[in-house]
Structure 1
Amino acid sequence: MASSADVSIAVVAGEPSGDLLAGRLLGGLRPHLPEARFHGIGGPAMQAHGFESHWPIEKMTVRGLFEIIPRYRELKGIQNSLRDQLLAERPACFIGADYPGFNLGLEAQLRDAGIPTVHYIGPQIWAWRGGRIKKIIKSVSHMLVIFPFEEEIYKNAGVPVTYVGHPLAEMIPVQPDEAAARRQLGLAQDANVVCVMPGSRMAEIKYNTVAFIGACKLLLQRDRSLKFVVPMAGEKQRQYFLQLIAEAGLQDVELMLLDGQSHTAIGAADAVLVASGTASLEVALFKKPMVIAYKMMAASWHIMRHMGYQPWIGLPNILAREFLVPELLQNAASAEALADAMWKQLSDVPHRLQLVQRFTDMHHSLLRNSAQESAAAVLKVINR
């Protein structure tokens, strides 16, 4: 086989979830391209495979329609600078790892210049902003999707597509070990444990924290034995979280704060209060009852609430095509409503048993060797 030393592949991930996806893809590619240069924008999961990041991934993370406005100029400058670099270099291909607002625009310009583009994962055009398919057709040479129903959508639109499975379905065991997770965290095997996940982004923490911890305080009035475990994405998030709790007068609620360890926290829990997003799918893969909640800037909410195509926002409910678990959004996500919904998840034993079976079936439907499948698709795109 010809040397891979002359192969360059550019990748952009703008958030930790994209870093995880791209990290697995690069792990699948590296054995086939041992000397290739992987570079662009990414985080630690990508860097573990010899990836060179030209900008810190932390610079890219932003959430919401209005929250992006103050950052637009900076992000556009990064996009233009990277575009010029790649047009001069002409890598074998460009891979956009999620982050569609940034990546699709960059992909369109690169593809126009004859550089093959791969997008991993498909934007949720089945949930909202379906008009984006027109931009995808112009921007993407090959789409990698992580949900089985997405393949037909892109095929029908004429976009080459490969279903590669969801990496989380491989990372999380089909039969999680709750006892081991509790031992790892020093929790009693018979403890009543609630995992609280207000989000990893600063904006999510800002809007979700007070309602989430207010719900914990109300739950303690029903059961004083409850233990609350809260995984934090980083020190900055932890300090902001504690600041918000103190400002709301909720510092008397006893919480076990963890540095990361979100999977251990979910695995140890009886039920989870989780912000909508990938974390809700993680909870489903751990076969745990949950309440999905989300709050955001009021102006963003008033616009986005009318843009959805489905009655669900949580990934477990979207995959099930029904409300398997409660969703409480914006004003409906009060501390009182969250506490009531969580209490039902904790106390309804038949419902808990039903969820285990439904989530197990869901897990099997998402299980593939995503690193191998995604790498094979990229190798085909670059003719290796």
Structure 2
Amino acid sequence: MQSLRIGIVAGEASGDILGAGLIRALKQRYPQAEFEGIAGELMLAEGCRSLYPLERLSVMGLVEVLGRLPELLRARKRLIRHFIDNPPDVFIGIDAPDFTLGMERALKDAGIPTVHYVSPSVWAWKRKRIFKIKQSTDLLLTLFPFEAEVYQPTGQNLRFVGHPLADVIPAQLDLNAVRQQFRPDPVSGPASEPGKELVALLPGSRGSEIKYLARPFLETARWLQQQRPGVRFILPAANQRRHEQLQQLIELEFSDLTLDLVLQHSREVMAVADAILIASGTATLEACLLQKPMVVAYRMAGLTYSIYSRMIKSRWISLPNVLADEEMVPEVLQQNVTPDVMGPLLLKALEDEPYRKRLQRVFGIIGEQLRQNASERAADAVVELLESRCAER
């Protein structure tokens, strides 16, 4: 089986990272393989053909989705029809379970082998989804070691592959070069001289996240700057559109801040920061792998939160705390996303040296657990599924 057609759909930027690594690993095994579906910039660079813009799928929250629901349903219906009319050898849905699992179920029923890459957070909420996942997918690739136990009642064909981010962080970072680019000021010890620290602000990549988090993050920066006048801030924008939004906000309301707005380079920015104020999401895992103190925050539409808060069973929302199985970083939600709450927490992250050292130790252990050469292991599992299907024919 040297020539393959592989359907692959990613729903947001984090899925684009996973998809690019998987495509690269599969191409090493099948150089002539063709990939098509929904791809971001990284997957496109690996040769995947995108049938629909990934940006249109990247929407968060129940209320926020409602306005886009007809468009999303039409897109999914067209993609399902496309793949049924032109069956790929395997279909891979990456995260975005509300979108991809429905596709996987329809394609599996049509006889197409299906893979779901990234377990939905069934350990946190809606645990009964494990039965829907079993019906929808022939193979589930999980990123975290604790997830296998959740699926035992279904006998799910599951493979823990580790997390690709753990394989590249910080190995792919030239810290000296990054430091020269983003913080040419000298540092002494694990943090800068008190009052001259660098704090990274990461309010998220989605438009809804910028809407709810950008202003309180900048207000918190102002609060901290009043406490420590020499502190400096850096804010990486996910793309040009977000850069323009943030630049306008900063120029109108926050020109007093000692702040650099940069385009992309969020990982590099986090690597050289002394502390991070960050939106809950995959970026918190990157910060964890970089062993950085952080304050995790999230705010969404009130109705969305009231629904979600009743459904969530996990004690924590952030991956660093979930993986450590204890509260290693503070989490701030909804009405508490204010400078009066987040500012003191961020100040503690800068000043408490015993806490910083313990955090580095715990986060180092997490990195070792997740460092499994994930893209290669995921590709091996997909190949095994393909070969078993060929043997059955």
User: For this structure pair, what is the TM-score category when the shorter chain's length is used for normalisation?
Assistant: over 0.9
**Structure 2 letter corresponding to 1:121:** V
Q: 1:3 to 1:326 in 2, by over 3 A?
A: closer
Of 58, 74, 77, the match for 2:74: 77
Q: One-letter code of the match for 1:310?
A: S
CA contact (8 A) 2:7 2:92 kept: yes
- Give 1:121 shift: 0.6
- Aligned-residue Cα RMSD (Å) equals 1.5
Q: Is the 8 A contact 2:243 2:262 kept in 1?
A: no
Q: How does 1:6-45 map to 2 (within 5 A)?
A: 7-45=4-42
1:382 is paired with a residue of what secondary structure?
A: helix
Alignment of 1:57-206 (within 5 A): 57-173=54-170, 179-190=176-187, 191-206=196-211
Asked if 2 retains the 8 angstrom alpha-carbon contact of 1:154 and 1:160, the reply is no
Q: Conserved in 1, the CA contact under 8 Å of 2:247 and 2:261?
A: no
**Aligned mates of 1:20, 1:350 — CA distance in 2:** 34
| Structure 1 gap ranges (5+) | none
Structure 2 partner of 1:222: 227
1:107–1:140 Cα contact (<8 Å) kept? yes
Measured in 1, the distance between the counterparts of 2:23 and 2:77 equals 24
Q: Distance in 2 between matches of 1:253 and 1:31?
A: 48
In the aligned structure 2, how far is the partner of 1:128 from the partner of 1:293? 19
Aligned to 2:215: 210
Gaps of 5+ in 2: 188-195
Aligned residues between the structures: 380
Residue 364 of structure 1 is matched in structure 2 by 368
118-127 vs 30-39, greater mean Cα deviation: 30-39
Q: CA-to-partner distance for each residue in 1:181-232, whole Å, 9 max, x for gaps?
A: 3212243023410011000101001000111111100101111111101110
Local SS of the residue matching 2:68: helix
Change (3 A) 1:215 1:332: same
Map residues 232-381 of structure 1 onto 2, 5 A cutoff: 232-245=237-250, 249-381=253-385
> Cα deviations across residues 307-363 of structure 1 (Å, max 9, x unaligned)?
111110010000111111100111111111110100000000110011110110010
CA contact (8 A) 2:275 2:294 kept: yes
Alpha carbons 1:271, 1:342 under 8 Å: kept: yes
For 2:357, give the aligned amino acid. Answer: L
Supply the AA of the counterpart residue of 2:210. I
**CA deviation map 1:124-166 (0-9, x unaligned):** 1001121211210110100000001112222442110001110
Instruction: Flag the 1:188–1:114 CA change in 2: closer, same or farther, 3 A.
Output: same
What SS is found at the alignment partner of 2:71?
helix
Q: CA deviation at 1:379?
A: 0.7
Shift of 1:245: 4.1
Cα separation, 2, equivalents of 1:38 and 1:242: 37
> Under a length normalisation based on structure 2, what TM-score does the superposition of the two structures give?
0.93
Give 1:254 deviation, angstroms.
Answer: 2.5
Task: Tell me which amino acid in the other structure corresponds to 2:41.
Answer: P
Q: Distance in 2 between matches of 1:186 and 1:158?
A: 50
- How much does 1:177 deviate? 6.3
Cα 1:351–1:176 change in 2 (3 A) is farther
Cα distance in structure 1, aligned partners of 2:45 and 2:200: 29
Determine the C-alpha separation between the residues in 1 that align with 2:162 and 2:79. 29
Closer/same/farther in 2, CA of residues 268 and 335 from structure 1, 3 Å limit: same
Deviant stretches of 4+, over 6 Å: 174-177
Equivalent residue, structure 2, for 1:46: 43
**Identity among equivalent pairs (%):** 39
- What corresponds to 2:191 in structure 1? none
**SS of 2:17's equivalent?**
helix
* Paired letter, 2:139: H
1:244: Cα distance to partner?
A: 3.7
Q: Is the 8 A contact 1:179 1:189 kept in 2?
A: no
Contact 2:34 2:48 in 1 (8 A): yes
For residues 165 and 206 of structure 2, the distance between their equivalents in structure 1, rounded to whole angstroms, comes to: 20
Contact 2:126 2:311 in 1 (8 A): yes
Deviates more, 1:28-37 or 1:42-51: 42-51
Partner SS, residue 40 of structure 1: strand
Partner of 2:190: none
Using the size of structure 1 for normalisation, the TM-score is 0.96
Alpha-carbon separation, structure 2, partners of 1:194 and 1:285? 17
Deviations 1:229-267 (A, max 9, x none): 1110012112222334456x3332231111111111001
Distance in 2 between residues matched to 1:336 and 1:375, nearest whole Å: 47
Report the alpha carbon displacement of residue 179 of structure 1 after superposing the two structures with TM.
4.6
Secondary structure at 1:55 match in 2: coil
